C-alpha cells in the first residue's frame, strides 16, 4: 500500500514545524469564527412546543433547559416510519462528552426526533444511551425549524427530514434561538472525524484529497451502528 515518504527525524521535524504554522493559523481562524458566532443576533421563539418523554412525561422547550441558561438541541433524524435511528446521528450521540462538563457551564443537551417515543426508547435501549431524547411526534417542531415536513393528518406521516443542531438561550421564561447548523456543521460535536483527520489515511472517503492509491470508499456508506461493525 502507498504511504508517505520516509525521511530522517530532522526532515520530519522541519515538515511538522511548517505544518504547525498552518495549524496555528487555522486555530486562530476558528477562534475568530467562535467570537463572531457569540455576537450573532437571536430570534425569540414565539410558539410553545411540547415534547413527549419516557413513561408519558411531557416537556416543553423551556423545560428542556432544566433550569440552565443554554440549551444544545440535536435534531436526530428518526422519522415516524423509520424502524431505527439514522446511523450518522447515532455516531454523533455515541461521541458526546459526559454531561457534567456542559452543566458546569450552565448548558443542557437534548435530542429530539419525530419518531414516536416508543420507537425512540427501544432504540435508545439498544444503543445503551442515557441522554435526554424526546419525541416531537405529531407536532410541527421539525418543520418550523426547517428540517422536515409539517406533520400531516394522523396515519399519513412522511419521513423526509434532516439532522442538525440548534442552540438556544433562556432569559427567564423567554427562549431565543441563537445558532443553527446542519450537514458537516455537526462534525464538531464528536471526535471521530477529528481523530481520523489526524491519521495518515484520513477518513478514507472518496471526496478527500489523498495521495493516489490510498484506500477510499464512498462517504457515509462505511458508517454503522456501533453494534453492527462485527469484529
Q: By C-alpha distance, which of 96, 88, 99 is closest to 225?
A: 88
Superfamily of domain 43-183: Glutaredoxin (3.40.30.10)
- Is the pLDDT at 190 greater than 60? The verdict is yes
Read off the pTM: 0.90
Joined grid coordinates for residue 206? 472518496
pLDDT tens digits, 11-49: 999 999 999 999 999 999 999 999 999 999 999 999 999
Q: Output the pLDDT for position 152.
A: 52
pLDDT at 159: 57
Tell me the domain boundaries of the chain.
43-183
Long-range interactions of 65-69: CB distance < 8 A, separation 24+: 65/108, 65/168, 65/170, 65/175, 66/108, 68/103, 68/106, 68/107, 68/108, 68/170, 69/106, 69/107, 69/169, 69/170
**65 close to 72: Cβ distance less than 8 angstroms:** no
**Residue 168: pLDDT band with limits 50, 70, 90:** very high
Mean pLDDT across 188-201: 92
Q: In this structure, are residues 227 and 126 in contact, taking their beta carbons and an 8 Å threshold?
A: yes
Does residue 124 surpass a pLDDT of 60?
yes
Q: What is the pLDDT of residue 153?
A: 46
Tell me what pLDDT residue 156 has. 47
Tens digit of each residue's pLDDT (9 = 90 or more) over 93-108: 999 999 999 999 999 9
Amino acid at each position: 500500500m502507498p504511504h508517505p515518504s520516509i525521511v530522517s527525524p530532522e526532515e520530519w521535524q522541519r515538515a511538522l514545524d511548517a505544518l504547525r504554522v498552518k495549524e496555528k493559523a487555522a486555530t486562530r481562524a476558528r477562534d475568530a469564527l467562535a467570537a463572531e458566532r457569540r455576537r450573532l443576533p437571536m430570534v425569540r421563539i414565539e410558539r410553545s412546543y411540547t415534547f413527549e418523554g419516557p413513561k408519558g412525561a411531557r416537556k416543553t422547550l423551556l423545560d428542556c433547559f432544566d433550569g440552565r441558561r443554554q440549551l444544545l438541541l440535536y435534531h436526530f433524524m428518526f422519522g415516524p416510519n423509520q424502524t431505527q435511528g439514522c446511523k450518522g446521528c447515532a455516531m454523533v450521540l455515541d461521541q458526546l462528552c459526559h454531561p457534567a462538563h456542559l452543566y458546569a457551564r450552565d448548558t443542557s443537551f437534548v435530542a429530539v426526533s419525530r419518531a414516536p417515543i416508543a420507537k425512540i426508547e427501544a432504540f435508545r435501549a439498544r444503543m445503551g444511551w442515557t441522554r435526554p431524547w424526546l419525541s416531537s411526534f405529531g407536532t410541527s417542531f421539525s418543520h418550523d425549524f426547517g428540517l422536515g415536513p409539517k406533520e400531516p393528518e394522523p396515519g399519513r406521516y412522511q419521513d423526509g427530514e434532516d439532522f442538525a443542531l440548534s442552540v438556544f438561550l433562556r432569559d427567564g421564561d423567554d427562549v431565543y434561538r441563537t445558532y443553527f447548523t446542519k450537514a458537516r456543521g455537526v462534525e464538531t460535536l464528536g471526535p471521530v472525524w477529528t481523530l481520523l483527520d489526524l491519521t495518515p489515511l484520513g477518513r478514507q472517503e472518496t471526496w478527500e484529497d489523498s495521495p493516489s492509491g490510498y484506500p477510499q470508499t464512498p462517504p457515509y456508506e462505511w458508517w454503522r451502528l456501533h453494534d453492527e461493525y462485527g469484529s
